[in-house]
Amino acid sequence: MQRITHVIYDLDGTLLDTEPLYRLATQEILDRYGASLTVELRAAMIGRPTPVAARVLVEMTGIPMAPEAFAAERDARLVSLFATAQPTRGALALTAHLRNHGVPQAIATSSMRHSLEAKRVAQPEWFASFDAIVTSEDVEHGKPAPDIFLEAARRIGGTPQVCLVFEDAPLGVQGALAAGMWVVALPEPGHEGLVAGAHRVIAHLDEFDPREWGLPAFP
């Protein structure tokens, strides 16, 4: 297997446990119209930039709400929720280990900049430790296009062939594969079959073995 020298992470659901918060805020709005956030709807939304995800939700549920109105209401609710978000299992240990060994690391997130700032609040030093953070507003095409991963790789000086991407979203996995990168998927329950193209599938970051990829082993 290719020796990995650079690592790129999705943010929501991969490094930061925000997906339950997204589900809560989304379902609160859908409850008003008797609609549900199904596994299929989640799979179609997760990993997309907010404007696109909002449009998908309105189209799939048929709720009488403009996508822009849904996005604005949900974002307002999420600001307070994001302050409670914690790193996912194994995220702090893995990122600190790789940082201590000089491995360049980037975040490639579909979040918009204002959303990213709200997520930084609880863990400012951790976010500052990454070599680059690329948002959906920094590229022309969001996931599942490869743009965001290619831009992250460019910023940390890695070619696609030496980059390993961690992603929880099926669309994000597609984008990373389209970028020509190696991919470890951490799918939500019910999405396992949608990330079959990933090179590895694990449940949590603490299951990752760096030695398989030529990265420094844990002590």
φ, ψ for residue 25 (rounded to 5)? -65, -35
Is residue 12 flagged as an active site residue? yes
Q: Give which of 202, 192, 151 is closest to 170, Cα–Cα.
A: 192
With contact defined as beta carbons under 8 Å apart, do 159 and 186 qualify?
A: no
The total of other beta-carbon atoms located within 10 Å of residue 81's CB is 16
**Catalytic hit among 10, 17, 31, 147:** 10
- What DSSP state is assigned to residue 204? S
How far is Cα 61 from Cα 64, in angstroms, rounded to an integer?
9
Is residue 138 flagged as an active site residue? no
**Catalytic hit among 12, 17, 147, 209:** 12
With contact defined as beta carbons under 8 Å apart, do 154 and 148 qualify?
A: no
Q: Amino acid letter at 115?
A: S
Q: Which residues are known to be catalytic?
A: 10, 12
